[in-house]
Amino acid sequence: SMQAEIAGISFDNLLLNAAGIRCSTVQDLNSILTSEAGGVVTKSATVEERAGNESPRMRALPLGSINSMGLPNHGFDYYMAYVLKAQSAGYNNVILSVAGLSPADDLLMLREIQQSGFDGLVELNLSCPNVKGKPQVGYDFAAVEQLLGEIFKFFDKRLGLKLPPYFDLTQFDEMAAIINQYPVTYVNSINSIGNGLVIDPVTETAVIKPKGGFGGLGGEYAKPTALANVRGFRQRLKPEIQMIGTGGIKSGMDVFEHVLCGADLVQIGTAFGSEGTPIFDRISQELQDIMIEKGYRRLADFRGKLKTL
Ligand code: DHB
Q: Has residue 263 been placed in a domain?
A: yes
Q: What CATH number should be reported for the domain holding residue 172? A: 3.20.20.70
Ligand 1 site: residues with CB under 6 angstroms? 20, 44, 67-71, 99, 125, 127-130, 191-192, 216
Model pLDDT for residues 4-36, shown as the tens digit of each residue: 999 999 999 999 999 999 999 999 999 999 999
Query: Looking at residue 285, what DSSP letter applies?
Result: H
Which atom of ligand 1 lies closest to the CA of 131? 10
- Ligand 1 centroid to Cα of residue 98, in Å, is 11
Model pLDDT for residues 94-151, shown as the tens digit of each residue: 999 999 999 999 999 999 999 999 999 999 999 988 888 888 999 999 999 999 999 9
Chain centroid offset of residue 285 CA:
22
How many domains are contained in the chain? 1
- Give the β-pairing of 94-98 and 121-125: parallel
- What pLDDT does 72 receive? 98
User: What gap in Å lies between CA 184 and CA 266, rounded to an integer?
Assistant: 18
Q: Has residue 30 been placed in a domain?
A: yes
Q: Has residue 238 been placed in a domain?
A: yes
**Residue 193: enclosing H or E segment and its boundaries?**
strand 193-197
Model pLDDT for residues 58-75, shown as the tens digit of each residue: 999 999 999 999 999 999
Which atom of ligand 1 lies closest to the CA of 72? 11
- What pLDDT does 132 receive? 85
Q: Has residue 306 been placed in a domain?
A: no
- Ligand 1 centroid to Cα of residue 270, in Å, is 12
- What pLDDT does 135 receive? 86
- What is the torsional sign of CA 192, 196, 199, 204? positive
Q: Has residue 9 been placed in a domain?
A: yes
Q: Has residue 39 been placed in a domain?
A: yes
Q: Has residue 148 been placed in a domain?
A: yes
Based on the residue annotation, tell me whether 128 is a catalytic residue of this protein: yes
Banded pLDDT at 301 (limits 50, 70, 90): very high
What domain range is 45 assigned to?
A: 4-52+70-193+220-301
pTM, two decimal places: 0.98
Q: Has residue 308 been placed in a domain?
A: no
- Give the β-pairing of 9-11 and 4-6: antiparallel
Contact predicate 204/140, CB 8 Å: no
